[in-house]
Each structure stands twice: as C-alpha cells, then as structure tokens.
Amino acid sequence: MVPLKRRKLVCSDTGNTGTDSRGQTKFPQVVLFLLERKMGTSRRAFLSQLGRRKGFQVEELFSERVTHVICENNSGDEVRAWLDSQSGGRAAAHLLDISWYTESMRALHPVEILDRHKLQEPQISESEVAVFSVPSYACQRRTALDNYNTTLTEALSILAENAELSEEEGRGVAFRRAAAVLKALPSPVTSVSQLRGLPCLGDHSLRVIRDILENGASSEAESTKESERYKALKVLTGIFGVGSKTADRWIRDGIHDLHQLRASEQTLNRSQQAGLEHYDDINQPVTKAEADAIRGIVEKAVNSVLPGAEIVLTGGFRRGKVMGHDVDFLITHPQEGREVGLMSKVVSWLESQDLLLYQKTTRNSYLESKDGPGRPASNMDRFERCLSIFKLSKKEEPGAENLKTVTENKLGRHDHGLWRAVRVDLVVSPISQFAFALLGWTGSKLFERELRRWAGHERGMSLSSHALYDNNQSRYLRASSEEEIFTHLGLDYIPPSERNA
C-alpha cells in the first residue's frame, strides 16, 4: 500500500491526549492508531477526537508505541503490507476492524478482542509467496497474446496511451515497459511484494498496481478513461491521417467530436478527408478472415505484374492475433532489384479493379552507402510503400477462389451495403533487407523498440528495418532470416507468436 503522508502531531488540550481531568491516562497499556486508508481524512479526524474524549490514547502518527491499529474496509494483508512499509513498524500490533473501536467507545473502555474483531490475514510464509524474476529487456522475454494480469496491464496501457496522445512519450514508454513486464509473468500478481527487484516498474506504475490489488481497479486509469480530453483525443486520432498534435489543436479550437469537426471550417488533407468519410469502417476491428481475403487480392495484384514475388502478412496477425485495426503486407522478390517500381504497378492494378478508396505511395529513399544503418529519429523505415484504404466485399469473405467475382463486379462507391473500408499498408523490400523488414514490421512496437535499445546499449550495434550495423567493427552484419539477426544480437530466437510485449 502507498504509505500515508505523515502529519505533525497536534496536541491542543488534555482532551486530545487521552487523559482524564487529573492528567492521568485512563488506559495506559492501549495506544490506538486509526488507518486513514479507505476511512477518509474527515471520518478519521472525527473518530480520533471521539476516542480522545472518551479517554483513549489515539496517536496521529504510527510509531512503535501503537498497540492497536484500527481499520475500516481493509483486508489483513493490505494492512500488514502497509505496516511492513513503515519504518519501525510493529508486527505485534493488533490489526482490528472498526467494530472493536465503536464497541469500545460505547463501553467507555477497551472491550475484549474477539475473533470477529480481528482482520483476517492469510497464513502464508514468505517462502510460499512466489517472487517473480524476468530479464530486463522485452526482447529477452517470451510474451504470448494472453497473459495472467490483464486487469493490471490494461490499466497501465490506458495511462500509456493517454501519455502518448498528450505528446509525453517518456511517460508512455515507461507505462508500456511496466505493462510488458507484467504480461510476461507466469502467474497472476497477488501482492506487490512479488514484484520486488523486477525491471521497468517505477513508482508511478507500482502505485497503479497497488491500487488495483487493493481496490479492484485503478482510480487513475478510470478517471483518465472518463476525462473529456482523453475521449476527444481518442475520437479525433481515430481519423486516418490525424495525429495527436492535430487533434490537440482541434480540441483547443473547441472541436471534440466528428459532428463538430464536420461543422467546422477546418481544412482537411486528402487522407483526413478519406478517414473522416470512412471513419466507422476504419475503426471497426478487422478479422483474420478479412485479412486473409485482402491477402488473396494483394497476391493476385502482385502476381499479375511480377510473377514469383513473395507476399507476407505481417503485424499483429503474424503474431497470432485474430483481430486488428489494419492489415500490413511485406512484398519482395527473390532476385535483388526485380522489386524496383513494383508498387506503382500494383496500385494501378488495384485501381483498375476499383478496389482502392484512397492511396498514397512513397518511393524508397534508403541508400545504405549514404545513410549507414538508417535509423531516423522516428525509427520509421524508408521502404517503398502504399498507405491505402481498401474496399472489401461484404457479400462473402473472398479468398483466391472467388476473387474473380469481386474484381469483375467492381463494387460501386455508393453501394456501401456491399462493402466495407479497411486500412491496408503495402511495403516493398529488396530481398537483401527482407529479414530486417520482416522483423521490424512484425512488432510488437515495444518489442521492436527494445530490440533497438538492446542492440545499442548491450551490443554496440545499430538496428533498423533495413540493416544491422556493428559500430565497433564498422561493418554491416548480413542476415537472410530473423533467426540470423537474433544470433548477431546475442539473443535467443523468439518466434512471432511470443513477441506480444
């Protein structure tokens, strides 16, 4: 539990010291302390004054003199953890429910302590409490999709997202790293004491964890979810092409929802216009079946213009997710150089079939000889890519066998009952960089960040989605597979399904 702020002891008259009119202590062997946690400041002050008027010694601060700790709505293990956190805490103090205190007030003396007055403490020895241990970097840990601490990780993720939307990247990363540690644990966390010595768990994250363990939910995470600013940022950044800076500017202009944005005179660029038009579809989760259907379309498009090319579904779906917010594909060709100019041909084919609602294509701007390992400040790669919005048939989830029906019918833009809009990213990589691109585009985002941090801090290397560069030897380390990259980094290989940090 979070230690309570210590208050100065105020002694204003003899009535506050638990003495009678002759200055003698009525019950010298009983020294009470009321725990403010869950009781509240005002109620604690009232009950303390009541006890003193009845002749009891009620301490303002916890000390070794305290013989009875009075609690309200606290469990025994919560209070014991709080006592252990206090310097000079006494294990011998009675931990009592408020009922003992009120009965003693009515009786005008300390009543007998019965079992019903005692806080129930689990009889677990220190050796029986599992203390967890995990490696410091997420890229050293195996993290499956499901974890044992979803209540904790979801609260931390909300706080991370709120920090990121508020342009507080450092705080966001701290919460993400804390959540990643909890995701990797082999069993549920039942006590903060189990987390002793674990990496990446700062004071703020530990306060959130304590709050959940003690109260069932994080008050900070809940208040964040309900805040008007957070809800507005979520809605506005849900528009394709709108980042947190743009959303923040709109909020300062009084725009908090889509209706207000549409009614405003804000100038939207082409991607934002498309994002607003197809907002509901884009913010609806994409299923694995829909991703597979889009893969069939992409394969038909690529093979029609470059036979022999390879297409890999990346992102969360490669890590085993059954739902996602978009679909990412990595495309290459076994012969170096054959992939040059491929994207424009693929996009032309898709547009000829009326399957794109929006697209923006960028050229490959990475030159190894000039750029070195290629790590821009944003860690964005510089492959040839197409950011697009696909038009996907709703009539059935099309696979390769019925693509002919989908493409030949050329679904009309206004027949929205027959199709839905889906965000799709297409990325083209030379085969020499394909292993690095595949690793980078598989994710998770934090796993990739931790890989780069490990490479730099622990190995003296620079890693990007283009290359791995050994700064000590001043040379590139080539790789034709993800396994080779892990070997270069001195890490055990972790398959995509266990990179869900």
Q: At what angle do helices 150-165 and 169-183 cross, to 10 degrees?
A: 170
Q: Which of 94, 17, 107 is nearest to 55 (CA)?
A: 17
416 backbone dihedrals φ, ψ, rounded to 5°: -70, -15
CA 192, CA 172: separation in Å to the nearest integer?
22
Choosing from 77, 281, 328, 381, which is the catalytic residue? 328
- 7 is written with which tokens? 């208050």
Q: Which of 31, 34, 52 is nearest to 43 (CA)?
A: 34
Angle at the Cα of 327 (from 353 to 286), degrees rounded to 5?
95
CA 486, CA 409: separation in Å to the nearest integer?
46
In Å, how far are 4, 34, 435 from 381, measured between CA atoms?
48, 58, 14
328 flagged as catalytic: yes
CA 334, CA 480: separation in Å to the nearest integer?
11
Q: How many residues does the chain have?
A: 501
Residues 152, 183 contacting (CB under 8 angstroms): no
Phi/psi zone of residue 216: left (φ > 0), alpha (ψ -120 to 50 degrees), beta? left
292 flagged as catalytic: no
13 flagged as catalytic: no
Rounded to a whole number, what is the distance in angstroms from the first to the last CA of the chain? 27
CA 114, CA 51: separation in Å to the nearest integer?
20
Q: At what angle do helices 445-459 and 434-442 cross, to 10 degrees?
A: 120
Choosing from 354, 371, 425, 470, which is the catalytic residue? 425
- Kindly tell me the burial class for residue 414, based on how many C-beta atoms sit within 10 Å of its own C-beta (0-12, 13-18, 19 or more): exposed
Task: Return the residue matching tokens 């003693």.
Answer: 104
Biggest CA-to-CA distance, the chain: 103
Choosing from 77, 248, 281, 326, which is the catalytic residue? 326
Q: Which helix (H) or strand (E) holds 428?
A: strand 419-428
SS3 state at 23: coil
Active site residues: 326, 328, 425
